[in-house]
Homo-oligomer: A and B are copies of this chain.
Amino acid sequence: MAASTLTEVARLAGVSPATASRVLNGSARKPGKDIAERVRQAADSLGYIPNAQAQGLAKSSSGLIGLIVHDIADPYFAAIARGVQEAAREQRKMVLLATTGGGPAEEKEAVAAFAARRADSIVIAGSRSCRSEDQDGNAELAAELDRYCRNGGQVAVVGHPVVGATVQEGYHVVRVPNQELAGQLATELAAGWDGGFVIVAGPEGLLTSDDRVRGFQEGLERAGRGQAEVIRTAFNRSGGYEAGLQLAERIKAAQSSATAGGKLCIFAVNDVMAIGAAAALRAEGLRIPRDAAIAGFDDIETLRDFRPALSTVRLPLEDIGRFATRATGPQPNGEDTDHVHPGDVTGEVTLRRSTEVAA
């Protein structure tokens, strides 16, 4: 009743398990054609499926790639996951998924679980945090990762290195030029906007958010504008919504007062927050871009049909996942390929309706 084993196949074919193994799985040595055929027949007459656990045990490698995300239902992570999945398929590996909600403690657990499963590599997506409350967690995570690498594991992190992680072999970082791109966005926005700016950001210490804020401020400065006010809130839709509510008040107040001069351009540090903010403004009876302009970051695919179309920075999310995964995989076998960066992440400022000045 139980799945049949290599030994059974071997017996049926009248050969040793060793030979059967050599035939059925890729071995350096090639058994005789006749024998090979017999084994293969026996194998599929028994419906033989190799036991990956046993193989893994014997070879001490599992063909598994661990992926850590905050939330797989978040389109940002889902897009990255797709890329990871594709790259995994290229390497003929399977992906193990862990959802952590973003806490380093859970991430550490996920790494340990992956290590236990002897995952060949681990991809960590999702912003790092350097808040003091996360300090211990980060340290533990770093330690766990360290150990994993020391035992031969490969890890790739999207965005920033894990805070406190020792640089070492097997540890890759796929850098995302959040700061530069946010700067560009600010520059381009400033060129067509003479009102004020306000930034809707995630909690201080969230590295991705901080980078984008910093970059945006720099861009503003380069454009000869003053620093924008920063509103800190949750790094998700509802955070954006709350901030939007606040801003709506303010905008309406400004409109009714005689001061009504410069309109506000809101930069939310990611698309999902931007959508939340936009929803709040709309709920308060404001229109975009008539009453306020708004821009996001990421260019989430599912959100592209949103109207007014959201100005944002396109990030090649799927590629990011792919690159990260490839970085942990076997070295490409091409010759000149090893000093070519396997993938430099670049983004693109994409201005759309949501930040157009009224005609």
Chain A interface residues (CB < 8 Å from chain B): 1-3, 47, 49-54, 56-57, 60, 62, 64, 67, 71-75, 78-79, 81-82, 85-86, 89, 94-99, 112-113, 115-118, 147, 150-152, 237, 272, 275-276, 278-279, 282, 300-303, 305-307, 318
Given contacts A82-B71, A306-B305, contact A97 B96 (CB under 8 A): yes
CB-based contact A3/B151 at 8 Å: yes
CB-based contact B151/A1 at 8 Å: yes
Q: How far is the CB of A35 from chain B (nearest CB, A)?
A: 23
Q: How far is the CB of A151 from chain B (nearest CB, A)?
A: 5
A-B contacts, 7 listed (Cβ < 8 Å): A2-B152, A3-B151, A49-B115, A52-B113, A72-B85, A73-B78, A305-B306
- Name the residue among A49, A306, A307 with the largest chain B CB count within 10 angstroms: A49
- Name the residue among A54, A71, A78, A147 with the largest chain B CB count within 10 angstroms: A78
**Complex Cα spacing A306 to B67, Å:** 30
**Complex Cα spacing A160 to B186, Å:** 50
CB-based contact B73/A97 at 8 Å: no
CB-based contact A118/B302 at 8 Å: no
Closest to A118 in B: B53
Given contacts A53-B53, A53-B62, A94-B113, contact A2 B72 (CB under 8 A): no
CB-based contact B47/A57 at 8 Å: no
Within 8 Å CB of A118, what residues of B? 51-53
Q: How many copies of the shown chain assemble into the complex?
A: 2
Instruction: Give the 7 A-B CB pairs with smallest separation, nearest first.
Output: A73-B82, A78-B78, A52-B116, A53-B56, A52-B117, A73-B78, A3-B151
**Complex Cα spacing A49 to B150, Å:** 14
Closest to A60 in B: B2
- Name the residue among A113, A115, A117 with the largest chain B CB count within 10 angstroms: A117
Set B67, B73, B117, B305: member contacting A79, Cβ < 8 A: B73
**Complex Cα spacing A64 to B62, Å:** 13
Given contacts A47-B147, A49-B115, A303-B302, contact A75 B72 (CB under 8 A): no
Closest to A69 in B: B85
Within 8 Å CB of A275, what residues of B? 305
- Name the residue among A151, A279, A305 with the largest chain B CB count within 10 angstroms: A305
CB-based contact B115/A3 at 8 Å: yes
**Complex Cα spacing A318 to B71, Å:** 12
Set B71, B78, B98: member contacting A94, Cβ < 8 A: B98
Closest to A321 in B: B73
**Complex Cα spacing A66 to B50, Å:** 17
**Complex Cα spacing A305 to B94, Å:** 34
Within 8 Å CB of A54, what residues of B? 57
Given contacts A73-B75, A95-B97, A97-B96, contact A112 B49 (CB under 8 A): yes
CB-based contact B116/A51 at 8 Å: yes
Within 8 Å CB of A97, what residues of B? 67, 81, 85, 94-97
Within 8 Å CB of A98, what residues of B? 94
CB-based contact B72/A78 at 8 Å: yes
Closest to A271 in B: B302
Within 8 Å CB of A307, what residues of B? 282, 306-307
**Complex Cα spacing A302 to B81, Å:** 17
**Complex Cα spacing A137 to B99, Å:** 32
Q: How far is the CB of A52 from chain B (nearest CB, A)?
A: 4
